[in-house]
Amino acid sequence: MQENEVVEPKYGEKIISEFDVEKDLEIWENKHERDYKIKITLPEFCCLCPRSGYPDFATIYLEYVPAKFVVELKAIKLYINSFMTRNISHEDSINEIYEVLERKLAPKWMKITGDFNPRGNVHTVIEICSDEIIKKTQEQSFEAPKFEKFLRDSERSFDRSGYGGRESKFSKDGSRGKSFGADKKGAKTGDRKPRASKDKFDDKPRRASSKEGFKKPEFAGEKRARVVKKSSEDK
């Protein structure tokens, strides 16, 4: 080979170097109304380390439930191969692939996993799933503000203390307008009849009284000491 001879790139190298994701990533119409999952494995992912320039290899696992569009298989393969000459980190590459497919396809559900080959005794797996994004959005939408939560907690603790709605007020003549007693609903204050002196009300339960008092239990076969009274003749 002469020094001045120009080496033309192969057609594959030319396609990869000239690949434009905005124009060349071909998508097709999804003709099916039912939900179904597409699984694609791309074992030839390669990119260059942004610091050292060493190649990083990975297997890309793509799963998605299409809405209106699906990605053409050759197009996704060429798009993955276009990372071969790019200096990009593991995290940035997988996030970029997810963002591009999400914008182009707008799927109902999608998950991308980048399983990188170990390098320097380090094994990296990058995973992005729309389930986690949807779940996080729902948690934020249903999360109450801290101030409202504090007010609700305060009201609960106030009700549990037993003083909620039972304030006592005195009228001008000095009589109580409200009573702490458990009045029936709709009953007016002062409608209660005075109790007779013979009526006895005791809310505390009483123990059954025993006239015999404490009695030591007897056991079968128990021998008791016999008490013998000595008469005057025995003395």
Q: Which are the catalytic amino acids?
A: 49, 56
Kindly report the length of the chain.
Answer: 235
Residue 5 labelled as part of a binding site:
no
Q: Checking DSSP bridges between strand 109-116 and strand 55-65, what pairing results, if any?
A: antiparallel
Task: Say how far apart CA 187 and CA 169 lie, in whole Å.
Answer: 17
Task: Say how far apart CA 231 and CA 235 lie, in whole Å.
Answer: 7
Residue 72 labelled as part of a binding site:
yes
**Alpha-carbon 224 to chain mean position:** 72
Residue 18 labelled as part of a binding site:
no
Q: Checking DSSP bridges between strand 27-29 and strand 69-71, what pairing results, if any?
A: antiparallel
Residue 65 labelled as part of a binding site:
no
Asked whether the beta carbons of 170 and 176 are under 8 A apart, the reply is yes
Residue 67, C-beta contacts closer than 8 angstroms, at least 6 positions apart: 30, 105, 106, 107, 108
Residue 91 labelled as part of a binding site:
yes
Tell me the CA distances in angstroms from 160 to 56, 77, 151, 167, 180, one per residue in order: 62, 64, 14, 15, 16
Q: Can you say which residues are annotated as belonging to the binding site for substrate?
A: 71-73, 90-91
